[in-house]
Amino acid sequence: MTNPTANPTANPTTNPMTAPRTSRQARADALRNRRLLLGAAADVFAEYGTEASVTQIAQRAGIGKGTVFRHFPTKEDLLAAIVGELLDALVDTGVALSDADDPEAALLAFMTAGVELQVKDRAFCEVVGRPSLRHPDVQAGIERLCEVAETLTDRARRQGTVRQDITGRDIVLLVGGVHQTAAPAMDADPELWRRYLGLVFDGIRAVTAAPLAHPAPDHMRLG
């Protein structure tokens, strides 16, 4: 959906990654600036989080601030495009793990990849970890993430290596939670999240434990 090489016939008003106009070909300088913008935005959002200013992104890209708003009507649209790509990449990782030999190891690898992405990218973990950004692209990406997580979880459940009462949504939420658990102490130990991922995964593997008293979530946002 947010793949920059996607079908150019897609609706340009809902997909700013494709050609912005349907009639004429996009101009060469416009495409060049768009690439510069997306690269700079990815870097700056990753390093400074969602509160990075548009001015800062424009400077990093070497373009004017007005050009940013020409390509994306609001800052949130730009942010959603960046985070959407990251979500897509993580979904792809999950899909690739869906037919691995060891379902338990595959689920752990998926969670590891998720936490690593959050560690690397401040904006990603801020957007995924809070119900603030209601952008449809992001919502859809998270939904796809839950689906692939459910696939991975289901295989491990059938194998009997993880408890029966864990869902794909649990996994997605726990990936965010593991990162947040370690976050306050990550300056002192950048790999601390591995400790809590191990602990949480022991909880996920506790097949002999009593079922969790509280039911699983059925949807992740809105009320």
Shortest spacing between CB 60 and a copy of itself, in angstroms: 23
| Residue 53 binding result from DNA, a copy of itself, none, given CB thresholds of 5 to 8 Å by partner type | DNA
Give the contact letters, 71-110, x = binds to DNA (CB under 7 A), - = no.
x-xxxx----------------------------------
Instruction: Give, as one character, the DSSP assignment of residue 64.
Output: -
Q: Which residues bind a copy of itself (CB under 8 A)?
A: 128-131, 166, 169-170, 173-174, 176-178, 180-189, 191-192, 194-196, 198-206, 209, 212-223
Residue 49: CB atoms within 10 Å: 15
Q: Which residues contact 62 (CB under 8 A, 6 or more apart)?
A: 36, 40
Shortest spacing between CB 42 and a copy of itself, in angstroms: 22
Instruction: Say how far apart CA 175 and CA 110 lie, in whole Å.
Output: 9
Shortest spacing between CB 78 and a copy of itself, in angstroms: 22
Instruction: Say how far apart CA 185 and CA 104 lie, in whole Å.
Output: 28
Shortest spacing between CB 207 and a copy of itself, in angstroms: 10
Instruction: Say how far apart CA 223 and CA 220 lie, in whole Å.
Output: 9
| Residue 220 binding result from DNA, a copy of itself, none, given CB thresholds of 5 to 8 Å by partner type | a copy of itself
Give the contact letters, 8-47, x = binds to DNA (CB under 7 A), - = no.
------------xx-xxxxxxxx-xx--------------
Shortest spacing between CB 79 and DNA, in angstroms: 9
Q: Which residues contact 19 (CB under 8 A, 6 or more apart)?
A: 8, 12, 25, 26
Instruction: Say how far apart CA 79 and CA 7 lie, in whole Å.
Output: 21
